[in-house]
Structure 1
Amino acid sequence: MATLTFDSLNPATGETVGTHPNQAPEAVRQAVGRAEEAARWWAAIGAAERRRRLLDYKAVVTRELRALARLVHEETGKPVGDATLELVLAITHLDWAARNAAKVLGRRRVATGMIGLNLTATLEYLPLGVVGVIGPWNYPVFTPMGSIAYALAAGNAVVFKPSELTPGIGVRLAELFEESVPEHPVLQTVTGLGETGAALAADPRVKKVAFTGSTATAKRVMAACAENLTPIVAECGGKDAFIVDADADLRAAADACLWGAMSNAGQTCVGVERVYVVDAVYDGFMRELSERVANVRAGEHYGPITMPGQVDIIKRHIDDAAKSGRLVAGGTGAVRAPYVDPVIVEDVPEDSPAVREETFGPTITVRRTRDAHEALELANTSAYGLGGTVFSRNARRATELARSMRTGMTAINSVITFAGVPALPFGGLGDSGFGRIHGADGLREFARPKAISRQRFAIPGMNLTSFSRGPAELERLIRLVTFLHGRRKR
């Protein structure tokens, strides 16, 4: 028999943060039913009114910033400062989505070409209806809001299922939305365990699912969606690489690398996990990195491992890496559940779990390479393809390396900064998933393109879409196409 409620626990202390209903499939179906009606109303009020409501919601969330950050801190264990940064980024994205939806999705005329000279053509993007969002626990506001804000701005209603580890913040986000949109439940939160999320993904009235989580879970969600041909945006794990070129600013590179790897206890899908350093600057970089990591402490600079089961994976990776590589910081005793001290291991074989599998903890492997070309080749061997970083003073060279990285996003001379630019799409390829949130691509992800062509006048002797078409009309068409397209380019 399924439990009726479940507790949200502070992973650092084990204390209960809140108790929430474990909503059964029937409750999810009822929420989707309410969302269907809300979606029709939300779409009908128009882009300008949605913009006003969403900007008001942004103000409400900003007003509650301190309280929300405290709740995120309690449910995840991350420092309040990190929770605040997460919320600020979410607010920024909410603002961008609200302000840009009409421009990106609104009706516009498109060129028809010579063949369609007598036509006028328009393209617009219309709401899907109900969007289901299944969120993660590591960034329980920023990550799901990257789907929620853009789906709402595109004119959809949203049913949000937060992680069972962080349900409280998901509930609060929906409660605050009611202050700006009290008429209909345009944004609802359903809480529960895996069965709750499965029911949301399987409901045929949900027109798109945005999922963030592990690659293995994404496959199960995709299987549920496949029953109804429901499209899905899947933002899965990563094994992001960090390349340090021969001309890099080593102090800046080491500082960014350490934060990208250790912040949020390494529980970041676009966090740094693999570091490739060109031989000419390897020793200097490692000195800088070693000096900095000595001052980073678990429980002070970052929080605990939020999901208890992840501790075993982190320990397995550390133990395996320590057998073949050389420990620079930390070691097999770094795991002090629920905390893990910083771990840096160099010269770990590329086929080891610590290099191939997502660790999702405060650990990095570092390898010396002949040059940036070898570093790039090694970076691109991963099955994942989410984000990455390049440090180089040569802008052209850095850009070439960044473009050649097999990832959806790459930062140059900074780390993870692409996530803070609302106009940039966020997403990956390979085992990191597919589809995009954020930016214009993120708005279009939650809308359906609608193409319309209208004949303005008839062209005498060129009625091509009729059974009355004769040989003369076909000959005129051939001559026109030959004139327009028949000349070879030299």
Structure 2
Amino acid sequence: MTQTASTTSARADDGRKRFASVDPRTGEVVAHHPIAGEDEVREAVRLARGAAAFWADLGFDGRRARLDAWRKLLVRRLEDAQQLISAETGKSADDARTELALVIDHLHWAARRAAKVLGRRKVSPGMLMYNHVATLEYRPLGVVGVIGPWNYPAFTPMGSIAYALAAGNAVVFKPSELTPGVGVFLASTFAEVVPEHPVFQVVTGFGETGAALCRSGVDKIAFTGSTPTGRKVMAECAATLTPVLVECGGKDPLIVAEDADVRAAAEGAVWGGIFNSGQTCAGVERVYVADAVYDEFLALVTEKAGKLRPGGEPGADFGPITMPRQVEVIQAHVADALERGGRAVVGGLESIRPPYVEPVVLVDVPEDSTAVTEETFGPTLVVNRVADADEGVRRANALRYGLGATVFSRNRGEELAARLRCGMVSINSVLAYASVPGLPFGGVGDSGFGRIHGEDGLREFTYAHSAARKRFGALLNPMTYDRGSRTIRHVLRLVRLLHGR
């Protein structure tokens, strides 16, 4: 394999070290980018402070106008963005276009809904405080640091960036070292519609650049990546009490009930597990199939997965493994499953030919195998037989991960979904929740905490500001030393009358 993790390979005219982003399909250098150190990151955050005040002062309508202009500009530049995403990740043109379509839809939703979700509104003061007017609004935090992944280098970080901007914050974005050009593209297009101040900046580099961003004094960090790295981000932020949003890995299950549309379930499992080369945090990795439909389901999955082929050409079904060392993880998981009694009904160890991995479908895999318990992040599926959907739910809930899940059932979908310990569920489809801008995205347990997307995603980048304004004097005022015991007796009598029955 020609690609390695992006390495320092050049110096700019200003003497700063630079590193290369590399096309994983060919090993060719896409571009060179500067390595931002502690000083550069802190300077970006300092500039963002002034920009944040300008951006917040625009108000919801002013920000929406700029974000709408950015959205329209991105639509005009879709082909440029697609080519860049494909070059830095290796994913197919259609997969990159799908990612960008989601970016546009979410950006539009966040800009349009921010005022209604975050703007000042009245809150009932209750009977005891009837002489007050209570209001609530959500104010921007100030400067938000975003640390993004490489597998969806536009869609995933934009789940934080777009919502943080719509909420009134400035943003400093550290993209993955594997896809820095996508981050630069997003920031540069934004600067075309907001040229006055550096409201949205990018700092490129490796892990130390991300650590510097955590230490830089931003008002919140939004991180997407692996669970081990998420723990490191939290540790860095703990020193300064910087709040964090952490969206980590998953080992997402798909449950096929006895009454499922088996053909639709098989199509969903293959798509959910193999698209984008399986490099999806909420992709399907474990499949639990009720005994009554197992044989039919497995035959269909074997047929469908067996036809798919990776490659770098336009007609390939999916692309390479973007991060080279992930190939070793995929190989280790497949080997462990086979050594412990599992069988490969599609592919096998011979399917792993870096940088490409052909589809691998494994069956009869022990539940304590790494292929079941740890995130594989490759085009592999573990399909295990269970007695019924209820056993599938129990096995699905057995891990510390809890990102997303899928249920196929004609009559029990909502019931089974309600019993799954995870942040999101698709019923009779896969990953639908990620495409609905109004639904929050995030997990529990080792999959992290906090939410992007939806109303929760907007509020994630704000703080609640409450106010209670006295309109007139109350007949009973217990909040004064002149109240007297009689006042308290009347208040308690009122409480018993209102709330004691």
Matched, 1:59 2:76: no
Q: Any gaps of 5 or more consecutive residues in structure 2?
A: 1-7, 10-16
Given residue 334 of structure 2, which amino acid in structure 1 is its aligned partner? I
Runs ≥4 residues deviating over 4 A: none
Deviation digits for residues 71-108 of structure 1, max 9, x if unmatched?
00000000011000001001100000000000000000
Q: How far is 1:468 from its partner?
A: 1.5
Q: Is the 8 A contact 1:58 1:95 kept in 2?
A: yes
Aligned-CA RMSD value: 1.0
Matched, 1:24 2:74: no
Q: Which residue of 2 aligns with 1:410?
A: 425
Partner SS state of residue 410, structure 1 = strand
Q: Is the 8 A contact 1:35 1:159 kept in 2?
A: yes
From 123, 130, 134, give the equivalent of 2:136: 123
Aligned counterparts of 2:446 and 2:96: Cα–Cα separation in 1: 27
From 316, 339, 358, give the equivalent of 2:332: 316
Q: How far is 1:295 from its partner?
A: 0.8
Matched, 1:472 2:465: no
Deviation digits for residues 424-467 of structure 1, max 9, x if unmatched?
0000000000000000000000011000001111113x221111
Aligned counterparts of 2:437 and 2:418: Cα–Cα separation in 1: 20
Aligned counterparts of 1:403 and 1:478: Cα–Cα separation in 2: 41
Aligned counterparts of 1:250 and 1:229: Cα–Cα separation in 2: 49
Pairwise mapping of residues 154-169 of structure 1 onto structure 2 (< 5 A)? Answer: 154-169=167-182
Given residue 383 of structure 1, which amino acid in structure 2 is its aligned partner? R
Given residue 387 of structure 1, which amino acid in structure 2 is its aligned partner? G
Q: Which residue of 2 aligns with 1:419?
A: 434
TM-score scaled by length of structure 1:
0.98
Matched, 1:481 2:495: yes
Q: Is the 8 A contact 1:322 1:332 kept in 2?
A: no
Query: Which stretch of the first structure deviates more once superposed, 462-471 or 403-412?
Result: 462-471
Q: Equivalent pairs: percent with the same residue?
A: 58
From 242, 245, 248, give the equivalent of 2:254: 242
Pairwise mapping of residues 426-445 of structure 1 onto structure 2 (< 5 A)? Answer: 426-445=441-460
From 139, 142, 145, give the equivalent of 2:155: 142
Query: Which stretch of the first structure deviates more once superposed, 288-297 or 157-166?
Result: 288-297
From 45, 52, 67, give the equivalent of 1:39: 52
Given residue 499 of structure 2, which amino acid in structure 1 is its aligned partner? H
Aligned counterparts of 1:81 and 1:475: Cα–Cα separation in 2: 71
Aligned counterparts of 2:285 and 2:492: Cα–Cα separation in 1: 59
Aligned counterparts of 1:315 and 1:179: Cα–Cα separation in 2: 45
Partner SS state of residue 54, structure 2 = helix
Q: Which residue of 1 aligns with 2:212?
A: 199
Q: Which residue of 1 aligns with 2:322?
A: 306
From 101, 104, 108, give the equivalent of 2:117: 104
From 403, 408, 419, give the equivalent of 1:391: 408
Q: Which residue of 2 aligns with 1:280?
A: 292
Q: Which residue of 2 aligns with 1:7?
A: 20
Q: Which residue of 2 aligns with 1:213?
A: 225
Q: Is the 8 A contact 1:298 1:341 kept in 2?
A: yes
Deviation digits for residues 274-293 of structure 1, max 9, x if unmatched?
00000000000011111111
Given residue 267 of structure 1, which amino acid in structure 2 is its aligned partner? Q
Given residue 351 of structure 1, which amino acid in structure 2 is its aligned partner? D
Q: How far is 1:175 from its partner?
A: 0.4
Aligned counterparts of 1:485 and 1:389: Cα–Cα separation in 2: 43
Deviation digits for residues 204-244 of structure 1, max 9, x if unmatched?
2x001000000000011001111111111100000000001
Given residue 421 of structure 1, which amino acid in structure 2 is its aligned partner? V
Pairwise mapping of residues 234-273 of structure 1 onto structure 2 (< 5 A)? Answer: 234-273=246-285
From 317, 320, 340, give the equivalent of 2:357: 340
Q: Is the 8 A contact 1:126 1:450 kept in 2?
A: yes
Aligned counterparts of 1:330 and 1:52: Cα–Cα separation in 2: 51
From 360, 363, 385, give the equivalent of 1:368: 385
Q: Is the 8 A contact 1:8 1:18 kept in 2?
A: yes
Q: How far is 1:294 from its partner?
A: 1.6
Matched, 1:325 2:342: yes
Aligned counterparts of 2:60 and 2:393: Cα–Cα separation in 1: 44
Aligned counterparts of 2:289 and 2:477: Cα–Cα separation in 1: 65
Aligned counterparts of 1:478 and 1:328: Cα–Cα separation in 2: 72
Aligned counterparts of 1:450 and 1:400: Cα–Cα separation in 2: 37
Given residue 271 of structure 2, which amino acid in structure 1 is its aligned partner? W
Q: Which residue of 1 aligns with 2:5?
A: none
Q: How far is 1:382 from its partner?
A: 1.3
Q: Is the 8 A contact 1:161 1:191 kept in 2?
A: yes
Given residue 282 of structure 2, which amino acid in structure 1 is its aligned partner? V
Aligned counterparts of 2:431 and 2:138: Cα–Cα separation in 1: 30
Given residue 211 of structure 2, which amino acid in structure 1 is its aligned partner? A
Q: Which residue of 2 aligns with 1:178?
A: 191
TM-score scaled by length of structure 2:
0.95
Partner SS state of residue 87, structure 2 = helix
Q: Which residue of 1 aligns with 2:474?
A: 459
Aligned counterparts of 1:278 and 1:57: Cα–Cα separation in 2: 48
Partner SS state of residue 219, structure 2 = strand
- Number of residue pairs matched by the alignment: 483
